[in-house]
Amino acid sequence: MRLRKLIALFAVLAMVAAACGGDDAGDDTTTTTAAAATTTTTAAPATTTTVEPMATVGSPENPVRVLFVPSVNTDVIVSGGDIMAEALNAATGLTFEVSVPTSYASTIEEMCSSPENSMGFIPGLGYILASNLCDVDVAFKAVRFGWPVYWAQVIVPRDSDVTSVADLDGLKWGYPDAGSTSGFMVPSLLWQENNVTPSEEVSAGGHTGTVRAVYNGEVDFGTTFFSPPLLPSGERWAPGDFPDVPDDLIPTCEVQRDGDHLRCGEDADGDGLK
């Protein structure tokens, strides 16, 4: 927001009156003429304001800011974002700078405070908020594993007695962030529809933080995004299919050394970390 200062200049005019009077001692008349008032006007010194020109957007001095919400571990986002920034630089010749603000709301605030040089990767709820706040618009839509959408999921420990949404009533809920579409907004609507009232709500600081909180027993259940698994047979997962790894395959599952994939059964190459 630019502030414009208004300076009012006030001119003060002084009026001087001279009176003429007669002398009782004689007819001689003495006329006194007042000297003409002299007014000297001194011009105010000229003020010159120099404004440094803004560096071109996309230059090293003013890079395009690529903002991500802290949906998962920040280091993971930044490392992947840097790879993308390098690819964009090679394709466009522009300079990009990746950053992850501390919350979903902070990401939106930073986009709105610097619209000329910012782009962001935000969820549906974040887009609605940003659009209402500062007219943020959609330019592209992500496609993940062939899907242009993603889902919300509820996760519980494998030994939990929870088998339905109704069973969540009165339990401790962990979620990524109040600005998360899949982790907070959609589940909140689901609770209303099913008369579920959690005993406590815990913001776990991201989707991975939510999974960790459930795994460590810090919450009874959690809500995160869900993307379909890549099936070993190559067939396409469909809504309604079993969304989790079958129990009999759990002992065979390995996190691959690249840290990006969990492989189970015959698809595991034996070189992973169990």
The pLDDT tens digits for 186-225 are 999 999 999 999 999 999 999 999 999 999 999 999 999 9
- Looking from the CA of 156 toward its CB, the CA atoms found within 13 Å total 13
Contact 53, 64 (CB under 8 A): no
φ, ψ dihedrals at 18, nearest 5° = -115, 130
Domain boundaries, the chain: 64-134, 151-227
The pLDDT tens digits for 7-28 are 222 222 222 222 233 333 333 4
The pLDDT tens digits for 126-183 are 999 999 999 999 988 888 888 899 999 999 998 999 999 999 999 999 999 999 999 9
The pLDDT tens digits for 224-262 are 999 888 776 777 888 888 888 777 888 888 887 766 677
pLDDT of residue 270: 58
First to last CA, the chain: 54
- Whether the full predicted model's pTM is greater than 0.85, yes or no, is no
pLDDT of residue 48: 62
If pLDDT is split at 50, 70 and 90, which confidence band does 33 have?
very low
pLDDT of residue 256: 76
Find out if CATH 3.30.70.2190 is the number for domain 151-227. no
pLDDT of residue 51: 60
pLDDT of residue 15: 26
Cα 215 from Cα 128, distance rounded (Å) = 32
Q: What percent of the chain has pLDDT over 70?
A: 77
The long-range contacts involving 127-133, CB below 8 angstroms and separated by at least 24 positions, are 129/105, 129/179, 133/108
pLDDT of residue 165: 97
pLDDT of residue 141: 86
Q: Which residues of 168-194 are buried (b: 16+ CB within 10 A; e: fewer)?
A: beebbbbbbbebbbbbbbbbbeebeee
Q: Which residues of 24-63 are buried (b: 16+ CB within 10 A; e: fewer)?
A: eeeeeeeeeeeeeeeeeeeeeeeeeeeeeeeeeebeeeeb
